[in-house]
Amino acid sequence: NAGVTQTPKFQVLKTGQSMTLQCAQDMNHEYMSWYRQDPGMGLRLIHYSVGAGITDQGEVPNGYNVSRSTTEDFPLRLLSAAPSQTSVYFCASSYDLRGYNEQFFGPGTRLTVL
Amino acid sequence: DAKTTQPTSMDCAEGRAANLPCNHSTISGNEYVYWYRQIHSQGPQYIIHGLKNNETNEMASLIITEDRKSSTLILPHATLRDTAVYYCIVGGNQGGKLIFGQGTELSVKP
């Protein structure tokens, strides 16, 4: 299994540009999430999904869109990039195992918005 | 989801036990205590979780107080590779929704 994969690893955008961060998992996990991590800070939840076709907002959803058309993929779209969105983005997946879930994280996408 | 309070940083000598405390006084009855760690800039890694009882696995032990308002993660023989930020998180089984705090930066020193 490849686990959780994220592309690209690095990206530089100009203010106002849009882009999609890709996340895929091959573990047949129900749950997927997107987090951002700013320098010296903990992770903040952007959006999450409990299954295909179902998404919900996390702590900091503004400026981001998600969709979940398949179990495997959970792309994150930046609609109009702003310098405040410069961050490291982590995708995670998990499944409900006896009432709790252990999240598996991808390697991250490092995004700079100029 | 309940919030947690952890010390900002801790030091530990290599080979000694590292005891990382966490307060979660507003935890509700069906919420688990999870511990994750993040080494340098990698994605976080799951360590252990518990509900009421103490738990042990190959990485660590988790001690939860009887009133469940606090817990301690124990790394029995810390190595230099255990230097990382350790996050204590409380949450239910609602998939995908873990709220991270600031964590404890553990430095293991020779």
Residue A100 is nearest to which of B93, B96, B99, comparing CB atoms?
B93
Mean pLDDT score, B40-69: 94
Calpha distance B34→B92 (Å, rounded): 10
Within 8 A of B102 by CB-CB distance, chain A residues are 41-42
Kindly tell me if the per-residue pLDDT of A57 is higher than 80: yes
Cα dihedral B77, B78, B81, B83, rounded to 10, equals 160
Q: What pLDDT score was predicted for residue B98?
A: 80
A104 touches chain B (CB under 8 A): yes
Query: How many contacts, defined by CB atoms under 8 Å, are there between A and B?
Result: 71
Within 8 A of A88 by CB-CB distance, chain B residues are 41
Amino acid, res. A109: T
Q: A95 by DSSP, 3-state: which? A: coil
Calpha distance B42→A15 (Å, rounded): 27
Mean pLDDT value across chain B: 91
Residue B96 is nearest to which of A4, A94, A106, comparing CB atoms?
A94
From chain A residues 38-77, the ones with a CB under 8 A of any chain B CB are 41-45, 48-50, 56, 58-59
Q: What pLDDT score was predicted for residue B93?
A: 60
Q: What pLDDT score was predicted for residue B96?
A: 57
Q: What pLDDT score was predicted for residue A92?
A: 94
pLDDT category at B40 given cuts 50, 70, 90 is: confident
Q: Is A51 left (phi over 0), alpha (psi -120 to 50) or beta?
A: left
pLDDT digit string, tens, across residues A71-114: 999 999 999 999 999 999 999 998 876 556 788 999 999 999 99
Q: What pLDDT score was predicted for residue A1?
A: 75
Calpha distance B86→B60 (Å, rounded): 12
Would the CB atoms of B95 and A96 count as touching at under 8 Å? yes
Kindly tell me if the per-residue pLDDT of B34 is higher than 60: yes
B100 touches chain A (CB under 8 A): yes
Q: What pLDDT score was predicted for residue B29?
A: 83
| Burial zone of A92 (CB within 10 Å; 0-12 exposed, 13-18 middle, 19+ buried) | buried
Kindly tell me if the per-residue pLDDT of A41 is higher than 90: no
